Structure 1
């Protein structure tokens, strides 16, 4: 059992927030498989306090969804504080996670995400305002090792989180420069665990199977794991994770027929969430390759599946697959989505000059129309 403030989480597993992925539809599928904390898509604090309609759509939770976990991205301590107060007073969530791990250029070049912890005083003030205004809701943070190997921030940031009253910290054991390339540095998770003994430390990076999660905990001493890309197209990974942490050896090995049934249900749920079959099926296209990873399905068949214009057409094309094809094993594991290291991390001009500078980045660092 891992305690995150007032929340008791078992198994000690967190679904990482992923833009365009961790909406109600996907969270529903994952929660049906196993327990843990399931975080919604990242939103910007400014968009929340300005009551942007798209942002409020992104933080919708299911009727029976508890605890409700919401991830905030922001660069201004005052706005973060207002957002935290709003979440607590309006009962918008049961848990607030702060994002200091996003490596995408549109975020880091404005001083947000994984770029922000380099500014130590700014980070501390954001953490302080979030905790002070959260009304007792547990506040956590997710971060990366740092900007690059010459600008590592995770140990200082972790100590600061504990000092400012955060309930837990999660480390994606890559730098922003690594993006999603190379291997996650699990030794960094151990160093953070040793440096921050008073609050839970969660590890993230290269968890493709439940046994990877067990190895991470054994190797690093972390209190739990955060799963991101490893569950794309595989919501049953949460069943495996629950079994693994309960000492049960059984692992899911669905046939292609079983996978297609889950795939179709995911598409149906997404259409309900979006409120349009046409747009729901279009939005679902990115998931098809993840569900079919490792299975023998021809390129033309994959292309036609991705071009489906409605649920009936998608179901008809899925019916043509070999539903008896067995689970492909290791071929279905491994990286999903774009990988590869970046040549450089995009940062605001002069960002690395003074780590103690307290200047707040400009408001356009939080694009209210992007949701983060």
Structure 2
């Protein structure tokens, strides 16, 4: 049976060119980047080159890039270290109800320590009201964490407007954005958008798992989240993973060259899928914003069809999609994003699926997906 993957928002297969780079680095560039001999200098060169690529991709400086193990560590570092370091300046933090759990869980932890966290609500498109943000900012607000693009429904935040509101407010809050889902596809300019902290992850863009980076504005000084050595200019302890780093660099180079063409292609996939569903008279509605969205994600409510049942039947047909964040895999808990957008009792919560595209997606695979969706939905309706 041919297996077709439509869950790129959860993770992506490693790009063939990235695999070659990782293999070469594992074989020929094994030195510890902290060592002063040839092998150490060789690894240091790879690391320095990679940081330049990462920095250029978001309009930052190489010294503002801190290597991490991925999105979760980047989010945790940005949130917890900012909150605890600035505790004397204030204990108020602002975020949204639709953040990834790598943001929401640290917020819950900080609340247990006595921090005051404001959770901004969203409308039926998954967007916050900028006026709510403006009114929530206080003199004791030290951090605002709002994701760049939602991982479940794809809605994009108005990052530039958020940055401007924070800068014009009476607060001295840092602006952190989880850009894990948007990185490699959207235009990101941390200086223009006045972003202080930004999280990324390699495995979402065809790179290896276990590596990402956290952008930290050079004016900000956060202590190391990991305790041990003095790597990363004392900002993140631990021997750097050079093979994964080299692979991540290659993945970034590929995405930077192809992101505009891929956005067009992904939009074509979504349009074609929607057209096929409309022609079949299947009852459905799209979740999220139709215009301001990540092009590789489409979230669909199939009316009267259990998303769990649909996922299982599609899997038997060789098709892999999801019903929410990959970090809730194994759970049948309803999506907190859809509940925030449409209400806890909305049918959408248990009848919606997420389909996401990537490097191996073709129009032929979209047609196969459409055929199986139509067939299985009719079967379940009976």
- Scaled by the length of structure 1, the TM-score of the pair is 0.31
CA radius of gyration, larger in:
2
Higher relative contact order (CA 8 A, sep 6+): 2
- TM-score (norm. length: structure 2): 0.31
